[in-house]
Amino acid sequence: MSESRVPRLRRFLVCEPRHFAVQYAINPWMNPDTRVDVDLAREQWTALIDAYRARGHSVDRLEPVPGLPDMVFAANSAVVVGGRVFGSLFHAPERRPESGHYDLWFKTAGYAVHRPGSVVEGEGDLVWTGRYLLAGTGFRTSREAHREAQEFFGHPVISLTLVDPYFYHLDTALFVLDEENVVYYPEAFSAGSREVLRRLYPDAVLATRDDALAWGLNSVSDGRHVFIAPQAEALAGRLADQGYEPVPVDLSEFHKAGGGIKCCTQEIR
């Protein structure tokens, strides 16, 4: 069945974890007493880049900046649709300086960048489906930013409320498989948001809390290959049954900071 799943080549922007560390706590996964193995983090990150390139995807790199340990989480820097860049305004003061470095990369690459006036954390909470943006709120990104994104892109924005602090960004609780379907963990969402997702995606792949805690929802799909945490073995099996091809990539060192595969991956559309 996987032969019928057609991958679409993507362009990704990433940032090497040269200065990665857990120096503060801005989500339940983070503990400043946790020691990070930077060499292992770089090995794991390099394996992800190699996995993307092995399947034909192009990868651009942004130079990391000392003192910004979370800069590796490129997805939070912006959301890019149709060559238009909607930047970030981080909730945590510690991360706000990251935005300027990402904005400069986009501007140097020839893109105009919209500076948001409301707190918004890029693809962490704004997920492009091919037809509209699913937009998370509840912990980081403000509802006002959803309205701002809709005005900027001219695409519908569908607000979804997150209710579990362990899944503080939409990209920890949901990912897009292709233009027809998604995977999500229902209990991460409010009752009304679960109903919205059920109506939009009646055939969605539903994940368990174990899948979500294993970082299985922080995955990247090209329509056929699903780059997924190996710890989410059960979810990978269900995706294989649906005709997708799981590509396990271990980013366990980044779980210490509340991040995974998608967090490290900004898509340039």
Tokens of 228: 């997924």
Which residue, 234, 258, 259, 263, is CA-closest to 248?
A: 234
Residue 124 in 3-state DSSP? helix
Q: Where are the domains of the chain?
A: 2-267
146 is catalytic: no
Amino acid 242: pLDDT: 96
Amino acid 29: pLDDT: 81
Averaged pLDDT, groups of 10, the chain, 269 residues long? 83 97 82 89 98 98 97 98 98 96 98 98 98 98 98 98 97 98 98 98 98 98 98 98 98 96 98
Q: Which amino acid is at 227?
A: F
Are 133 and 156 in contact, with CB atoms under 8 Å apart?
A: yes
Tell me how far apart the alpha carbons of residues 241 and 238 are, in angstroms, rounded to a whole number.
5
263 is catalytic: yes
Catalytic residue among 169, 225, 255, 264: 169
Tokens 């060499």 belong to residue: 39
Q: Any idea which fold 2-267 has?
A: L-arginine/glycine Amidinotransferase; Chain A (3.75.10)
Catalytic residue among 15, 146, 263, 264: 263
Amino acid 133: pLDDT: 98
Tokens 């693809």 belong to residue: 123
Q: What letter does residue 226 receive in the DSSP assignment?
A: E
